[in-house]
């Protein structure tokens, strides 16, 4: 009886600790459900896997209707293929952006498939299409794409660069501020004549430095191992890098305005980071999500930055072309920073 | 030096500090005593400028936080309850960082290390220090800019008797510089060793204020005084 009472008292303590902390409730209950919903939207709710394929034809009329019929009805493999009709330049760009896995030219005999042989998803899409294709007596051949900017690694590295900046700023600034507040060091520093703005600027400049090192190392690695080359404007890259850092620094400061314990701090930072990591097309294209979500996804800062880096690294964008994206990122950052500094709690 | 005039502070319906007036003269060492929840920390935080009073006024050397915050930051050296130092920084780095906030040269950090008796720990990471050494560094941060007033909120809490004694020796040395000290403490011995004046708070109000000798003579000891005005023993 005595031990049961102790056990019940301990259980009561756990329950109270759990339910009296809103952040814990968010993390334990709401966040997993939200993530399940998001990922379910991307992958789970479909009755069959979907792959996007480019077709070098001007419209459906030039595309053999039997092929779509085969795809949808005759094969035992229940996979859905979405066909996009492009000219070759458009198809190449779509491939670089990760919107399609491969493109094929049905006007050629035999049909010609173009994709990165090292991209396993593209290979699966090819095999799927070939399986359908067997229903018609027609040969095909593959042009392995290894040109710069069209491989999966070319899609991945700019995304990782953007993710690196996001992560560096949110943890390096956001967590650092929360940690200082938890230690009461923020309050202690606030009781000195140190200009508060200088304190914030020092965080941002430090992040620019650390993110810069990370970018250089990642690029040198991708260049050395995978032969990746920056095809667009270096100045444009620098502008985007700066704008990305300002953007996520502002968001980090805004996230750190009040939190004074690890649970809430972690929760806030992850609540900002995780949805962007899943939605913004870092590891796979956001075209997997339903079309109605695309405008929202494209407006996310991480999407803007990742797509901007891809435009410069893979598609050869020049400085002027990247300025609108950089402008939006700066706007996000400045607004978040202004609100963050206004509401920032030193005590 | 510090003039607190009819100050009140409320949190919701709870009156934390209730119409308190207190005058501390230059060079005085004053201990602020009281049980937990008496309003000591709230009063000290208002004097330190962390929160404004709901009513009343606070003047420090004739200045107010509203008008003269930069000057007051230089005038005061403060030590907060349970402050933790920044991991990864050495003792010297920590002192230099705070010294830079006041425009002090790096040589000042060496001087403070000497005063604290921590020169041999100059390049030691703060996480590797003992509790007493860490508390000395925190005291050093408040002393880095040679403030005229020191406000220390329970500076020796959790320290062993030896470390506590070392900190007292340091504070007594500061007294030679003419500094004014306001100290909150839970240790009766600390109050009587360091301070010539004792102010006692209970339920947001000042309940006793006088020189150590007078209060001890009148009540037969600080602990008895504490018991009589609060109804609790001093270690509550």
Q: Note the pLDDT of residue A196.
A: 85
Separation CA A286–CA A294 (nearest Å):
7
A183, B86: Cβ pair inside 8 Å?
Answer: yes
Q: What is the mean pLDDT of chain A?
A: 81
Phi/psi of residue B155, nearest 5 degrees = -70, -20
pLDDT surpasses 90 at A264:
no
Q: Could you tell me which chain B residue has the CA closest to the CA of A186?
A: B83
Question: Position of tokens 């949808």?
Answer: A72
Burial (0-12, 13-18, 19+ Cβ within 10 Å), B33: buried
Query: For residue A56, what are the β-bridge partners?
Result: A86
Q: Note the pLDDT of residue B236.
A: 42
Burial (0-12, 13-18, 19+ Cβ within 10 Å), B83: buried
ipTM of the complex model: 0.85
Six-digit token string for A221: 């690695």
With b for 16 or more beta-carbon neighbours within 10 A and e for fewer, the A124-148 pattern comes to ebbebbeebbeeeeeebebeebeeb
Residue from A178, A182, A184, A192 whose CB has the most chain B CBs within 10 Å, to mutate: A192
B83, A192: Cβ pair inside 8 Å?
Answer: no
Which of A183, A191, A192 is nearest residue B84 as measured by Cβ atoms?
A183
Residue from B83, B94, B155 whose CB has the most chain A CBs within 10 Å, to mutate: B83
Tell me the shortest Cα–Cα distance from A182 to chain B, in angstroms: 9
> Could you tell me if B90 lies within 8 Å of chain A, comparing CB atoms?
no
Q: Which residue has the higher pLDDT, A288 or A24?
A: A288
> Could you tell me if B84 lies within 8 Å of chain A, comparing CB atoms?
yes
> Could you tell me if B70 lies within 8 Å of chain A, comparing CB atoms?
yes
Between the alpha carbon of residue A212 and those of residues A29, A165, A206, A218, A302, the distances in Å are: 37, 9, 10, 10, 17
B73, A184: Cβ pair inside 8 Å?
Answer: no
Digit-coded pLDDT (tens) for A202-231: 889 888 888 888 889 889 988 888 888 888
Residue from A180, A184, A193 whose CB has the most chain B CBs within 10 Å, to mutate: A193
The one-digit pLDDT tens for each residue of chain B (236 residues) are 899 999 999 998 889 999 999 999 998 999 998 888 889 989 999 999 999 999 999 999 999 999 999 899 999 999 988 788 888 788 998 999 898 888 888 899 999 999 888 899 998 988 899 888 898 899 899 999 999 999 998 888 878 888 888 888 888 888 888 899 999 988 888 888 889 898 989 889 998 888 877 877 777 776 777 777 666 665 54
Digit-coded pLDDT (tens) for B132-182: 889 889 989 999 999 999 999 888 887 888 888 888 888 888 888 889 999
Contact map slice: B 177-236 vs A, CB within 8 A: none
DSSP A59: S
pTM of the model as a whole = 0.76
Which of B73, B80, B86 is nearest residue A192 as measured by Cβ atoms?
B73
pLDDT surpasses 50 at A139:
yes
Q: Could you tell me which chain B residue has the CA closest to the CA of A188?
A: B80
Tell me the shortest Cα–Cα distance from B47 to chain A, in angstroms: 12
Mean pLDDT of A306-328: 92
> Could you tell me if B154 lies within 8 Å of chain A, comparing CB atoms?
no
Which of A180, A185, A191 is nearest residue B48 as measured by Cβ atoms?
A191
Burial (0-12, 13-18, 19+ Cβ within 10 Å), B136: buried
Tell me the shortest Cα–Cα distance from A256 to chain B, in angstroms: 18
A184, B82: Cβ pair inside 8 Å?
Answer: yes
Q: Note the pLDDT of residue A281.
A: 87
Cβ neighbours of A218 (radius 10 Å): 16
Which residues have C-beta within 8 Å of that of residue A304, sequence separation ≥ 6? Answer: A298, A325, A328, A329
Q: Could you tell me which chain A residue has the CA closest to the CA of B51?
A: A347
């Amino acid at each position: 009886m005595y031990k049961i009472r102790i056990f019940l008292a301990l259980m009561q303590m756990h329950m109270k600790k759990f339910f009296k902390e809103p952040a814990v409730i968010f993390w334990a209950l709401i966040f997993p459900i939200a993530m399940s919903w998001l990922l379910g939207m991307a992958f789970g709710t479909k009755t069959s896997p979907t792959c996007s394929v480019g077709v070098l034809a001007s419209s459906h009329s030039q595309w053999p209707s039997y092929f779509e019929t085969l795809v949808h009805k005759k094969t035992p493999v229940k996979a859905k293929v979405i066909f996009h009709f492009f000219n070759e330049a458009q198809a190449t760009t779509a491939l670089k952006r990760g919107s399609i896995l491969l493109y094929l030219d049905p006007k050629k005999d035999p049909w010609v498939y173009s994709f990165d042989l090292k991209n396993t998803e593209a290979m699966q899409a090819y095999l799927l299409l070939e399986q359908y294709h067997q229903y018609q007596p027609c040969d095909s051949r593959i042009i392995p794409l290894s040109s710069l900017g069209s491989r999966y690694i070319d899609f991945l590295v700019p995304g990782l660069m953007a993710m690196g900046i996001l992560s560096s700023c949110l943890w390096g600034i956001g967590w650092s501020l929360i940690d200082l507040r938890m230690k009461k060091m923020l309050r202690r520093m606030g009781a000195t004549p140190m200009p508060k703005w200088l304190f914030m600027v020092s965080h941002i400049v430090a992040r620019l430095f650390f993110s810069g090192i990370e970018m250089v190392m990642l690029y040198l690695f991708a260049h050395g191992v995978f032969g990746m080359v920056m095809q667009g404007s270096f100045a444009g890259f620098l502008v985007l890098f700066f704008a990305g850092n300002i953007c996520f620094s502002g968001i980090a400061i805004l996230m750190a305005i009040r939190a004074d314990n690890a649970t809430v701090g972690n929760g806030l930072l992850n609540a900002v980071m995780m949805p962007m990591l899943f939605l913004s097309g870092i590891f796979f294209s956001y075209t997997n999500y339903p079309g109605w979500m695309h405008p929202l996804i494209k407006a996310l800062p991480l999407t803007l930055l990742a797509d901007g880096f891809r435009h410069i690294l893979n598609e050869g964008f020049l400085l002027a072309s990247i300025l609108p994206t950089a402008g939006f990122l700066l706007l996000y950052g400045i607004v978040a920073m202004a609100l963050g500094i206004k509401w920032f709690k030193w005590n | 030096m510090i003039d607190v005039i009819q100050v009140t502070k409320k949190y919701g319906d709870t009156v934390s500090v209730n119409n308190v007036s207190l005058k501390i003269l230059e060079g005085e060492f004053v201990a602020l005593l009281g049980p937990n929840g008496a309003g000591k920390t709230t009063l000290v935080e208002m004097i330190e400028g962390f929160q404004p009073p709901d009513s009343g006024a606070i003047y420090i050397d004739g200045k107010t936080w509203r008008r003269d915050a930069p000057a007051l930051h230089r005038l005061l050296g403060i030590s907060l309850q349970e402050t933790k130092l920044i991991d990864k920084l050495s003792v010297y780095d920590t002192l230099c960082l705070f010294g830079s906030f006041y425009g002090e040269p790096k040589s000042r950090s060496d001087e403070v290390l000497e005063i604290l008796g921590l020169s041999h720990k100059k390049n030691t990471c703060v996480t590797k220090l003992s509790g007493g050494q860490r508390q000395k560094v925190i005291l050093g941060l408040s002393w880095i800019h040679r403030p005229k007033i020191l406000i220390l909120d329970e500076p020796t809490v959790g320290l062993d008797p030896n470390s506590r004694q070392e900190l007292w020796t340091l504070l007594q040395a500061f007294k030679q510089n003419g500094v004014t000290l306001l100290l909150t403490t839970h240790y009766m011995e600390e109050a009587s060793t360091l301070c010539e004046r004792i102010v006692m708070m209970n339920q947001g109000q000042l309940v006793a204020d006088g020189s150590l000798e007078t209060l001890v003579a009148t009540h037969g000891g600080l602990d008895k005084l504490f018991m009589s005005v609060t109804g609790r023993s001093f270690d509550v």
